[in-house]
Amino acid sequence: MGRTLAEKLWQDHVVRQADGEPDLLYIDLHLVHEVTSPQAFDGLRAAGRPVRRPDLTLATEDHNIPTIDVDKPIADPVSRAQVEALRKNCADFGVPLYSLGNIEQGIVHVVGPQLGLTQPGMTIVCGDSHTSTHGAFGALAFGIGTSEVEHVLATQTLPLKPFKTMAINVDGDLPDGVSAKDIILAVIAKIGTGGGQGYVLEYRGSAIRALSMEGRMTICNMSIEAGARAGMVAPDETTFEYVKGRDHAPTGDEWDAAVAYWRTLFTDSDAIFDAEVTLDAATLSPFVTWGTNPGQGLPLSASVPSPDDASDDVDRVAIERALEYMDLTPGTPLRDIAIDTVFIGSCTNGRIEDLRVAADILRERTIANGLRLLVVPGSARVRLQAESEGLDTIFLDAGAEWRGAGCSMCLGMNPDKLTPGERSASTSNRNFEGRQGPGGRTHLVSPAVAAATAITGHLSSPADLD
């Protein structure tokens, strides 16, 4: 019987297999950041263990750093101590680090692909659940906890039980103005935040094939929001074209050998998935969340749901709680929801194509009175690229703030936060209670919806602007 892409990648990385034990899997690339690594390095120190493969490890600063005044010392002493701990740990253990101010600094999931370190057929881990992003290249990539970070630092392996496999088939043509973000929000609304638990998701079908690498990254990024540790797309010419010529991409004969291997990385036609889900891309429209988990989403044309729509008691309580926290009334058209702050950025939607989409909509327009628009590139290189295209001028002329690279308002652990009761439309990945700051209310949206919303002041799509 044939094998799925995930099974091929798994088998190519098994170091050791024994009955009744997890497989020991080799890790090709370990990405590290300041928040989930200090206790792991301390563990190594306590046990007198070195980092086994610093040459397969890369660190960057992203989660708790500011995105303004980046040339000054970090004002928050607790954040500064954590960043300094990362710098000391990397120096002590020989791990390469891209610090604030370095041209290669940025969000860890933007930096890896940008450098060409993320390639098809690899196993990639990071102490961050959005490591699933790298699956867009046909890599097996997933988030790990700090104990596992220490384990990978010490051994370059992880003991793991095989995942189940789920195909997410998205066929058909996406309507204009509908993006990768809308696809994944629709997938999560369909299967729920627990639907992918225990699975690797493989995104397939013509609508996925038609996406750019950046669009595929947006989709794989949010696999974790459907409960799946990893999501992936089989590599194709779009993938090879993206990787080719990047700093760490293979060259010459090695490039040819790599591509020859990468071309074997697809799900065999007779392979069987443990589960399959199908979506028709042609029926999709701009999607937004109304509640406090990423599964609580609806098309922008819909209205706020009622607890009476619940399928069971647990769901009813969840809807009631979400409506109370979000301060929403059932039946309100989603388009009528007024927004205070728009955030464009994050490992989900902080890449150059996302900024281009937003800039196209904001060109020669201004944002709504009293609204705050934060545009935060995913990496220093994305920022430079945007500036070379004049996008920064478009954002600034529209009334936006143009920031340095980092996780910023995605997660409320740096100075960029919502205030209690403030409501955002955000291109990030989580609308949990307080995620963007205590008491803040988050609506997850695509870059196009974010930009249109910034102009009107209430949830809108670009089609609403004319």
Partner 1 sequence: MEAFTRHVGTAAPLRRSNVDTDQIIPAEYLKRITRDGFEDGLFSAWRKDPDFVLNQPQYQGVSVLIAGPDFGTGSSREHAVWALQNYGFRVVLSSRFADIFRGNSGKGGLLTGQVPQEVIEQLWDMVEADPGTEVTVDLEARTVAAGNLVAEFEVDDYVRWRLLEGLDDIGITLQYAEAITDFEGSRPAFKPVTQ
CB of 2 to partner 1, least distance (A): 23
- Token pair, residue 317, equals 């309580």
**Residue in 4, 67, 129, 428 binding partner 1, rule: CB under 8 A:** 129
Binding span for partner 1 by CB under 8 A among 75-83, 234-242, 335-343, 383-391: 75-83
Instruction: Decide: is 339 part of the binding site for partner 1 (CB under 8 A).
Output: no
Binding span for partner 1 by CB under 8 A among 39-47, 278-286, 354-362, 390-398: 39-47
Give one DSSP letter per residue of 255-295, joined into a string: HHHHHHHHTT-S--TT---SEEEEEEGGG---EEE-SSSTT
Query: What gap in Å lies between CA 156 and CA 149, rounded to an integer?
Result: 9
**Residue in 68, 81, 91, 465 binding partner 1, rule: CB under 8 A:** 81
Nearer to partner 1, 274 or 315 (CB): 315
Instruction: Decide: is 157 part of the binding site for partner 1 (CB under 8 A).
Output: yes
- Within positions 185 to 244, which residues make up the interface with partner 1, using CB under 8 A? 193-194, 197-198, 224, 227-229
Nearer to partner 1, 1 or 18 (CB): 18
Instruction: Decide: is 430 part of the binding site for partner 1 (CB under 8 A).
Output: yes
CB of 332 to partner 1, least distance (A): 22
Query: What gap in Å lies between CA 185 and CA 194, rounded to an integer?
Result: 14
Q: Per-residue string for binding with partner 1, 354-393, x by CB under 8 A? A: ----------------------------------------
- Within positions 261 to 320, which residues make up the interface with partner 1, using CB under 8 A? 261, 292-293, 295, 314-315, 317-318
Instruction: Decide: is 48 part of the binding site for partner 1 (CB under 8 A).
Output: no
In this structure, the number of other CB atoms found within 10 A of the CB of residue 21 comes to 10
Helices 352-362 and 447-456, axial angle in degrees (round to 10) = 30
Q: 134-151: string of b/e by CB count within 10 Å (b at 16+)?
A: bbbbbbbbbbbebebbbb
**Which residues fall within 8 angstroms of residue 197, CB to CB, at 6 or more apart?**
227, 228
Please, what is the Cα angle at 348 between 344 and 349, to 5 degrees?
35
CB of 75 to partner 1, least distance (A): 13
**Residue in 39, 102, 278, 332 binding partner 1, rule: CB under 8 A:** 39
Instruction: Decide: is 148 part of the binding site for partner 1 (CB under 8 A).
Output: yes
| Environment class of 418 (CB within 10 Å of its CB; exposed 0-12, middle 13-18, buried 19+) | buried
Pairing verdict, β 341-344 and 423-426 = parallel
> Could you tell me which of 161, 136, 158 has the C-alpha nearest to residue 147?
158
In this structure, the number of other CB atoms found within 10 A of the CB of residue 332 comes to 13
**Which residues fall within 8 angstroms of residue 311, CB to CB, at 6 or more apart?**
none
**Residue in 145, 245, 333, 390 binding partner 1, rule: CB under 8 A:** 145
Amino acid at 102: N
Instruction: Decide: is 79 part of the binding site for partner 1 (CB under 8 A).
Output: yes
Instruction: Decide: is 144 part of the binding site for partner 1 (CB under 8 A).
Output: yes
In this structure, the number of other CB atoms found within 10 A of the CB of residue 466 comes to 4
Nearer to partner 1, 123 or 341 (CB): 123
Instruction: Decide: is 416 part of the binding site for partner 1 (CB under 8 A).
Output: no
**Residue in 2, 11, 50, 55 binding partner 1, rule: CB under 8 A:** 55
Q: 33-69: string of b/e by CB count within 10 Å (b at 16+)?
A: bbbbbbebbebbeeeeeebbbbebbbbbbbbbbbbee
Binding span for partner 1 by CB under 8 A among 165-173, 331-339, 381-389, 409-417: 409-417
Instruction: Decide: is 99 part of the binding site for partner 1 (CB under 8 A).
Output: no
- Within positions 167 to 196, which residues make up the interface with partner 1, using CB under 8 A? 193-194
**Residue in 334, 411, 448, 449 binding partner 1, rule: CB under 8 A:** 411
Instruction: Decide: is 1 part of the binding site for partner 1 (CB under 8 A).
Output: no
Instruction: Decide: is 445 part of the binding site for partner 1 (CB under 8 A).
Output: no
Under 8 Å between Cβ of 126 and 101: no
DSSP H helix total and E strand total for the chain: 16, 19
Instruction: Decide: is 245 part of the binding site for partner 1 (CB under 8 A).
Output: no
Instruction: Decide: is 432 part of the binding site for partner 1 (CB under 8 A).
Output: yes
Nearer to partner 1, 378 or 412 (CB): 412
Nearer to partner 1, 29 or 375 (CB): 29
Binding span for partner 1 by CB under 8 A among 3-11, 112-120, 267-275, 392-400: 112-120
Binding span for partner 1 by CB under 8 A among 143-151, 213-221, 339-347, 371-379: 143-151
- Adjacent-strand bridge partners of 26: 157
- Token pair, residue 450, equals 């974010």
